[in-house]
Each structure stands twice: as structure tokens, then as C-alpha cells.
């Protein structure tokens, strides 16, 4: 099957992006995963996180992940040490101003992201790409906080970033062609798979996935099948590597509810609305793997 002809006749460049220094704003689950991927690709990473405990804890987590790769013979001890040395956790946003690419992975609140981008836009060099890892918010609205919105794009990594290969390169309303091309080439540089998409709520993957995962929760809530059998159905009937309920536990039920709410606000379609069971589980603190309990029990 041949894809439909593109509206542009130019062939995307496969040359290197030339980016060697990346700043990541936020060193939580996503930020540390993105930092890990960039450092593994040989880039210097400035990881901005105001909380010292989070910086220390997640750097140790990256070290543990890399050590398992050493134990399995996938990398040597020197490569592990070099990768960790390329990550520099810092506490101030000003430390990111010298990076060639900044990837924001802060909390999913528009006012927080806009303030971060306002400061980055004022402090970074004119040719620095400013990217957001948002999964549900408008990249165009985030870019509106900048004097130079043409250099702002979305780089949506998937959790866990070291494992999942896809990155959505999101073109906002005023993103330049050069920014999109450099961002796409950066994704190739870090050995990930880019897809370029417009700035619509949910982009591509979440727009497809969120209603499907919500339906999986509804099937479970109605007592149609157990969590295990729903997930087995997806794994062995649809060839998914992980079932939808196990995936919800991995992503975090609270994260998924937040994304569902954003999608519901954008489209007002019932399929995007988080099922009541999911909302009750979040209120009860059952957030999935990170809390030890979700659709499955991880406490042991």
C-alpha cells in the first residue's frame, strides 16, 4: 500500500541535528527518562530540578537501569560511567540557558509551562530550540508566552522513555520548518522514531489510545472479564506487548485521568471522559506501579 502524496515535495533530511547539549526541565519520571536517553546517545545533559532529593533519587535510578544493562552484557562498565557523567543535575533554570535544545518536562499545568518558556525565551540564544514534552496541552498556547514562538515545538516522549521508541514532533501554529526539521533530526540522533504531527489535542497516539484505554476500564468495571483476561486479550489478540490495564498502571492512573480530562474539554466526546471507576481509584490513592497498587498489586 502506497501512502498518499505529501503536500511538500522535499525529502526530510537525515543529517545529524548538530545538537550536543540538551537541557531537560524537570527530573521526575519523564525528565529523568529523557535525560537518560540523551546521555546514552552521547549528549551532555543539564537536568534542571529544584528538589535536591528528586535529583539524587532519579540519578540513582538511571544508574540502576544502566547497571542492569551491564549485568546483561548490553554495555560495559566504562560506558555506564560515561553515560552518568554526561548528566549534570542542577537546581536553577538559568543553568539551561546555554543548551542548544531545551526539553520541558514539568507538571502538566499551562501556567507553569508558560512561565518556564517565558524565562527560557528571554535567556536562551536565538537559535536554541525550545520543546515541551506535554502529552495533552496546546503547544501553540505554550509558545504564545515567547517572543520567538517559531522556535517552539513539541517533543512528546512516551513513558518509559528509555524503552519506548516513539517521539511525536509537534508543529505548533507558528513553529518554523527549520525547527521541525532540526527537532526531527535530533530524535533520530538519539535513536528514536519520530513522527511529525499538528498541534491537535492528544496529537496522534493519545487521540487513538485514550478512548481505547477508557473502554478497557469500562469493560472491567462492568464485570465482563478480569483485568488479567482483558490484558491477555490485547496481548494475544491484538499483538500488544502489554495489556491496556497494565499499561495504565505503568503510566499512572492519575496521569491518564488528567489526560482524559484535557481531551474531554477539547472534544466533548464521551469516549474521552475518564470512567468513574478510574476516578475513584485515583481518589483512593491507587495510582498504579508508583503507588504499589492499581489494577494489579505491586506491593510485593
* Per-residue pLDDT at 183: 98
- Second CATH level (architecture) for the domain 205-283: Orthogonal Bundle (1.10)
The conformation of residue 48, written as its DSSP 8-state character, comes to E
Which has the higher per-residue pLDDT, 16 or 296?
296
Q: Which residues make beta-bridge pairs with 103?
A: 24, 131
* Per-residue pLDDT at 15: 80
Would you say 107 and 255 are in contact if contact means Cβ atoms under 8 Å apart? no
Would you say 38 and 24 are in contact if contact means Cβ atoms under 8 Å apart? yes
Is residue 13 pLDDT above 80, yes or no?
A: no
21-198 and 205-283 share one fold: no
pLDDT tens digits, one per residue of 36-88: 999 999 999 999 999 999 999 999 999 999 999 999 999 999 999 999 999 99
Output the CA angle 176-182-183, nearest 5 degrees: 90
CA distance 39 to 46: 10
Per-residue pLDDT band for 286 (boundaries 50, 70, 90) equals very high
pLDDT tens digits, one per residue of 89-133: 999 999 999 999 999 999 989 999 999 999 999 999 999 999 999
Mean pLDDT of the chain: 94
Domain layout of the chain by residue ranges:
21-198, 205-283
* Per-residue pLDDT at 10: 46
Question: CA dist 171 to 30, 184, 249, 274, Å?
Answer: 21, 11, 30, 27
User: Catalytic residue positions?
Assistant: 135, 156, 168, 206
* Per-residue pLDDT at 9: 37
Question: CA dist 57 to 52, 68, 88, 103, 189, Å?
Answer: 9, 17, 14, 20, 27
Q: What totals of helices (H) and strands (E) does the chain contain, helices first?
A: 11, 8
Is residue 11 pLDDT above 80, yes or no?
A: no
Per-residue pLDDT band for 159 (boundaries 50, 70, 90) equals confident
Question: CA dist 67 to 61, 62, 79, Å?
Answer: 10, 9, 10
**Short-list 68, 65, 152, CA closest to 116:** 152
21-198: CATH superfamily: NAD(P)-binding Rossmann-like Domain (3.40.50.720)
Q: Please state the pTM of the whole predicted model.
A: 0.86
Amino acid at each position: 500500500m502506497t501512502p498518499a502524496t505529501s503536500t511538500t515535495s522535499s525529502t526530510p533530511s537525515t543529517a545529524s541535528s548538530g545538537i550536543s547539549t540538551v537541557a531537560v526541565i524537570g527530573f521526575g519520571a519523564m525528565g529523568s527518562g529523557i535525560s537518560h536517553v540523551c546521555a546514552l546517545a552521547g549528549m551532555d545533559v543539564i537536568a534542571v530540578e529544584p528538589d535536591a532529593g528528586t535529583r539524587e533519587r532519579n540519578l540513582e535510578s538511571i544508574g540502576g537501569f544502566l547497571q542492569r544493562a551491564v549485568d546483561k552484557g548490553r554495555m560495559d562498565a566504562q560506558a555506564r560511567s560515561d553515560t552518568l557523567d554526561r548528566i549534570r543535575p542542577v537546581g536553577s533554570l538559568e543553568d539551561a540557558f546555554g543548551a542548544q535544545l531545551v526539553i520541558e518536562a514539568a507538571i502538566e499545568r499551562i501556567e507553569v509551562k508558560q512561565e518556564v518558556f517565558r524565562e527560557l525565551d528571554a535567556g536562551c540564544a536565538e537559535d536554541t530550540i525550545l520543546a515541551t514534552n506535554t502529552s495533552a496541552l496546546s503547544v501553540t498556547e505554550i509558545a504564545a508566552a515567547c517572543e520567538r514562538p517559531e522556535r517552539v515545538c513539541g517533543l512528546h516522549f512516551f513513558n518509559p522513555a528509555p524503552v519506548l521508541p516513539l517521539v511525536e514532533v509537534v508543529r505548533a501554529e507558528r513553529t518554523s520548518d527549520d525547527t521541525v526539521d532540526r527537532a526531527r533530526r535530533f530524535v533520530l540522533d538519539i535513536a528514536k522514531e519520530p513522527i511529525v504531527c499538528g498541534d491537535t489535542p492528544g496529537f496522534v497516539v493519545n487521540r487513538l489510545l485514550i478512548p481505547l484505554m477508557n473502554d478497557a476500564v469500562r469493560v472491567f468495571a462492568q464485570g465482563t472479564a478480569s483485568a488479567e483476561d482483558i490484558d491477555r486479550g490485547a496481548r494475544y489478540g491484538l499483538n500488544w506487548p502489554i495489556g491496556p490495564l497494565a499499561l495504565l498502571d505503568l503510566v499512572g492512573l492519575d496521569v491518564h485521568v488528567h489526560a482524559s480530562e484535557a481531551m474531554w474539554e477539547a472534544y466533548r466526546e464521551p469516549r474521552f471522559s475518564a470512567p468513574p471507576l478510574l476516578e475513584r481509584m485515583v481518589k483512593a490513592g491507587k495510582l498504579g506501579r508508583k503507588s504499589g497498587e492499581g489494577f494489579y498489586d505491586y506491593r510485593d
